[in-house]
Amino acid sequence: MGILRLITEWATSPWGQNVPIHIAWFLIWLATLAGLLFLIVHAICVRYFARAEEFEDSALPTPAVGLPKRIPRHSLAARLFHWIMAASMFTLLFTAFLPKTGLQFDWVTYHWIAGSVLTVSILFHVIHASFWLDFRAIWPDKADLVDALRRVHRFMGRPAPPPRRFAKYPLENKLYHGAIIATGLAAIGTGVFMMSRVRTIFLPRNPYLFSDMMWGLVYVLHGLAGVGLITLVMVHVYFAVRPEKLDITQSMIFGSMRREFYLKHYDPQRWAVAIPRPGASRRDEEA
């Protein structure tokens, strides 16, 4: 309870019970500072300590016969989901935390609408990824863990073979995906209950769904997920604009990446690209 009291603000209910009401607002600045520190430390490490990329099979030529000039990576449905989710996420963060920094406006309506859009987009993504995409591609596997251990050993100066080229999603992407799932579901799950306390088009208002103590815990968990998303979004945007990651970022806009980038960084055995039949890759040849 000591940590809970440190990171939350409390009040006395009409029945004399001491209950939490929301997170302590200094956590907004703490999350922002954590994101900035990560960006600065990572940029310094890349600039002064990072070594040139070396892969286990770097000396072996990767066959490129038949590969299109542009390697398909994200479908149109996946890209639309990503940008709708991004727009709703930024709207949620701005409407939730800008009023706490002194900018006052009628934010509640915009907040629950953005939350509803985010919830629907997540449900769509779960169905789409489960039945139309390779659902397992985004989860860490044994090869990811072995390669991560190799990188740690090499970073510490210990003898270890070079890691293999990446699968479609490198381990850092998979770990970030897991973190965003945990915080996002916490925010959505608590947000759905919190919508019962305001007037919306979905359900009648019912502020008595939970006890005061339970409502306080719901608000605290929602706030913790929100400040966690501040740091996660900052990290995501940082990597999206780094020069060495621009091919990946552009693939989320245009759906594909350069063949040269694919051959340099990815293992065709871990991310197999379908070779188009003659006459079927005209668009790729024109790209």
Phi, psi of 13 (to 5 degrees): -75, 165
Coil, strand, or helix at residue 68? coil
pLDDT tens-place string over residues 116-142:
999 999 999 999 999 998 888 999 999
- The token duo for 105 is 């406006």
pLDDT tens-place string over residues 12-34:
888 888 999 999 999 999 999 99
Q: What is the DSSP string of 165-196?
A: PB-SS-HHHHHHHHHHHHHHHHHHHHHHHHGG
Q: What are the start-end ranges of the H helices in the chain?
A: 2-7, 26-48, 76-97, 108-131, 142-155, 171-194, 212-241, 246-254, 259-265, 282-286
Say if residues 125 and 81 touch (Cβ distance below 8 Å). Answer: yes
Cα separation, 182 vs 135, in Å, equals 17
- The token duo for 29 is 């600045």
**Antiparallel, parallel or unpaired: β 256-258 and 70-72:** antiparallel
The pLDDT assigned to 64 comes to: 64
Q: What is the DSSP letter of 278?
A: T
- Is 40 a residue whose pLDDT tops 70? yes
- Is 285 a residue whose pLDDT tops 50? no
Q: CA torsion sign, 177 to 178 to 183 to 189? A: positive
pLDDT tens-place string over residues 67-105:
899 999 999 999 999 999 999 999 999 999 999 888 888
Q: How far is CA 150 from the centre of its chain?
A: 25
Of 31, 118, 112, 36, nearest in space to 83 by CA:
118
The pLDDT assigned to 63 comes to: 61
With a CB cutoff of 8 Å and minimum separation 6, the contacts of 58 are 162
Coil, strand, or helix at residue 244? helix
Say if residues 274 and 284 touch (Cβ distance below 8 Å). Answer: no
Of 206, 155, 131, nearest in space to 46 by CA:
155
Cα separation, 244 vs 46, in Å, equals 11
